[in-house]
Structure 1
Amino acid sequence: MRDDRGVDLGGGVLVSDVMTAFPAYIRLGATIRRAAELISVSEVGQLMVLDHDGRFVGSLSEEDLVRAMLPGFDDVTAAGGTLAGAFQIFLERGRALADRVIDPLVVRDAVTVRSVDELARAAIVMIDRGIRRLPVVDDGTLVGTLSRADLCRAVIYHS
C-alpha cells in the first residue's frame, strides 16, 4: 500500500503494476464517426475522453454510441414494427449523427482510480458497479486504464 505521495507503506499489488499505460482516447469536439472508427480499430469498448488541454473529462463507450442511434419504440412502430424497419432507422440515425460532436454523449461522472490505489480496491469497485474498464487518473491526467483483462493478468503474474 502507498500513501498519497506514492510512498510504499507495505501491502499488495497497485493499479500501476497492471494497468494499460497507453489507453485509447478521443478529445472533446471529435465527431461520432471518429469515435466509432477509434472503437472499431482499437477493439476496446470504451474510449477515454480528454479536453483540449489533455485533462480527463469522462468516457464514451460503444454502448453510448449505439444507444444514440437506436430507434425508439414509437419510431419502430411507425416504420411498421419490423426488425428490418428498425434496422433501417438505426442506419439512418447513424448517418444523421455521424458528423455531430461526441460531447453530449460523454459520461462525465465516470468512476476513476489512481495509479497508486491498491488493485484489490479497484477490482472490488469494478465488480460491484459492473464496470469493464476504469480510467486511471492522477491529478486530472489520464495515465492509463484498468480492464477486467488486466485483473486476470494480475492473477497470472502476481500470484
Structure 2
Amino acid sequence: MLVSDVMTAFPAYVRLGATIRRAAELVSVSEVGQLMVLDHDGRFVGSLGEEELVRAMLPSFDEVTGDGGSLADAFRLFLEKGRALAERVIDPLVVRDTATVRSSDELARAAVVMIDRGIRRLPVVDDGTLVGTLSRADLCRAVIYHS
C-alpha cells in the first residue's frame, strides 16, 4: 500500500509571511495541530505546529516569578505575550528540517518514520510540492479499511 492510498489530500497550510494570529486561526479552524508551510511560489518549506505557536507565547520562568509567580500571573503574561506577537510573521517559528515522504512511498516506510521520530503528521511532498499529509489517524484508517 502506498502513502497516496490513505493520505489527506488537502492539508491545512499557511504561507511564509503570514502572521502568528493567522496561523493560530488556521490551527483553531482546521483542528489540526500542525500546519504545512509554503513559500510564495507554493513550494513546501516546513511545518508550524501548535507547539511552536504556544511556546512563542509562553512566559519564561523569570517572567512569572518576577510578577509573583501565581498561575493567574502566568496566564496574564501568556495573554499579553500572545497579543504582542499576534502581528509578527511566522517565519522564525517554522520548522524547516521537517521529515517528509513521497506519495509513491510504501505506507509501511512512512509509518516507521512517524513512529521512530514521534511524528503525528508527516508532509507528503513530491518534487517540492506539498500534495498531502499523512497522520497517525490515516494509518489507523488504512488498517481498518484495507485489512
Aligned equivalents of 2:22 and 2:15: distance in 1?
A: 10
1:86-97 superposed matches below 5 A: 86-97=74-85
Counterpart residue number, 2:24: 36
CA deviation string 1:3-37 (max 9, x = no partner): xxxxxxxxxx0000000000000000000000000
How much does 1:158 deviate?
A: 1.2
| TM-score (structure 2 length as normaliser) | 0.99
Aligned equivalents of 1:151 and 1:117: distance in 2?
A: 14
Counterpart residue number, 1:63: 51
How much does 1:157 deviate?
A: 1.2
Tell me, what secondary structure is at the counterpart of 1:101? coil
Among candidates 44, 48, 72, match of residue 60 of structure 2: 72
Counterpart residue identity of residue 15, structure 1: V
Q: Which runs of 4+ in 1 moved over 3 A?
A: none
Counterpart residue identity of residue 55, structure 1: R
1:158 is aligned to 2:141: no
Counterpart residue number, 2:4: 16
Which of the pair has more CA radius of gyration?
Answer: 1
1:45 is aligned to 2:38: no
Tell me, what secondary structure is at the counterpart of 1:134? strand
Counterpart residue number, 1:115: 103
Aligned equivalents of 1:26 and 1:104: distance in 2?
A: 14
| TM-score (structure 1 length as normaliser) | 0.92
Which ranges of structure 2 fall in alignment gaps of 5 or more residues?
A: none
1:82 is aligned to 2:77: no
Which ranges of structure 1 fall in alignment gaps of 5 or more residues?
A: 1-12
CA deviation string 1:30-71 (max 9, x = no partner): 000000000000000000000000000000000100000001
- Aligned residues with identical type, % of pairs: 87
The alignment's C-alpha RMSD in Å is 0.4
